[in-house]
Structure 1
Amino acid sequence: MKDHYSLLAPYYNSLTKLVFGNELKHAKSHFAENISNKKILIIGGGDGLDYRDFQDQLAGDYWEISGSMLNRAKVNLAESKLTFCLGYFQAKPHKLYDEIWLHFVLDTMQDDEITVLLQEIKKSLTAEGRIHIADFFEPKNAYQRFLNKGMITFFRIAANHRRTGIPDYEQLLFAEHWQKSSEKEFVGGWVKAQLWQSG
């Protein structure tokens, strides 16, 4: 499996902070509360740097398709109790999680891929489990639309992303019978953190 992030990995976090400050980090951690006794699945967590401040509370599995990003996550989250896995997540019988974190990963996937992932995730949650999404939604103004288009173009070239626009997450989630329980906006509403539970 080709690592499309091998060139970006050393600079990814610095570039993100340059453009957005700590807003994306705050979106990722907004609902990260009372997690010390939970089993957590993180899919597409990148270099893991944004989780380092509370890594001692993290236990579960960490899936990433980029080997270079995963290697950085192993270093950044060395004090966690996470198991690091390279590749595409697939549900395993009898392996359940209390929370599944999808942080800035769904916007890299095609709609049919998101649907398949949501179906796999549903098999992997406890009865009271929930998924935590943090991602870019539709831009709210001309500046955001300009920056959004530039970001999509950049990642299509640099990381082989195939999307040309932002997914309609809520339509896809509602179609798979998920229910939104909470939401917090960041970056003027362009970025949202959401909690969803299976309906």
Structure 2
Amino acid sequence: MKNNFNLIAPVYDGLAKVVFGKKLKQIQTHFLPVIPENANVLIMGGGTGWIINELFNTGFKGKLTYVEASERMISLSKKNCEFSESVNFIHGEESALPADRQYDVIITNFFLDVFSEVRLDEVIVQLSKQLNNDGIWICSDFQNTDRFGHQLLLWFIFKFFKITANLESGSLMNFDHKFKKIGHSRSENFTLMNGLIFSSVYTSERLL
């Protein structure tokens, strides 16, 4: 099975903290305050679920759908969540979403980088169909830079997850280009670690 994070789910957050300190959490929470209080939010590939508490602690009172393909990640998410009665947990991929459901906000944190280019195009197109016309898409991830240290770290990360999770992807792609193909552009952007990690708010170009 591709992109199977069951094996490393129990130590995933710990490993991230060892390598990146608090930077990954900082990047993923940066734009949470821009989410409307009563929005209908979809989080794809949410990992161990710590971000659920972070979202509700901003004063969020809307609906949250949380999709995760890893059984162990879903289990940890439910265990760690202080607001489980307000969350619709779905074990599966984007195909498990109700086809007629629309969302005001989609969050993909370190999620799009696991796919091959063909699958990435499919995932982005499908999710875009479930985003309201005036909705926002918050994407946090790695991006390529010219720094050798960054390139070495990314090589190690992809090799590590190829071994431990049978990662489908082998390298980073240009997410901006992929969003432009569905008619979305960055309206806000935030980076850390000299540009290695970013969080962006993508909005339909018709609204810009």
TM-score interval (norm. to shorter): over 0.9
Runs of 4+ in 1 over 4 A off after TM superposition: none
What amino acid is the match of 2:194? G
TM-score for both structures, normalised by structure 2? 0.88
> How many corresponding residue pairs?
199
Displacement of 1:162 in angstroms is: 2.4
Q: CA RMSD in A?
A: 1.8
| Counterpart position of 1:149 | 155
Does 1:192 find its partner at 2:198?
A: yes
Judging by fraction of residues, say which structure has more helix. Answer: 2
**Aligned amino acid, residue 190 of structure 1:** L
CA contact (8 A) 2:3 2:167 kept: no
Of the candidates 41, 59, 70, which is equivalent to residue 74 of structure 2?
70
- Unmatched runs of 5 consecutive residues or more in structure 1: none
Residue 4 in 1 paired to residue 7 in 2? no
Aligned pair in 2 of structure 1 residues 3, 31: CA closer, same or farther (>3 Å)?
closer
Distance 2:169 2:131 in 1: 28
Percent pairwise identity = 26
1:124-139 pair list within 5 angstroms: 124-139=130-145
Distance in 1 separating the partners of 2:191 and 2:2: 34
For 1:9-60, what per-residue CA distance to the aligned partner results, in whole angstroms no more than 9, with x for missing partners?
1100011011111111111111101443111000000001244234353632
Gaps of 5+ in 2: none
Residue 144 (structure 1) shift: 1.4
Written as runs of structure 1 = structure 2, the 5 A alignment for 1:21-100 is 21-33=21-33, 34-55=35-56, 57=60, 59-80=63-84, 81-90=86-95, 91-100=97-106
Q: 1:35 to 1:71 in 2, by over 3 A?
A: farther
Per the alignment, residue 13 of structure 1 pairs with 13
- Contact 2:48–2:76, Cα closer than 8 Å, also in 1: yes
Q: Aligned pair in 2 of structure 1 residues 92, 102: CA closer, same or farther (>3 Å)?
A: same
Give the secondary structure class of the aligned counterpart of 1:132. strand
Query: Is the contact between residue 9 and residue 48 of structure 2 (CA under 8 Å) also seen in structure 1?
Result: yes
Q: Report the Cα distance in structure 2 between the residues aligned to 1:84 and 1:23, rounded to whole angstroms.
A: 26
Tell me which moved more, 136-145 or 125-134: 136-145
Range with greater deviation from structure 2 (12-21 or 55-64): 55-64
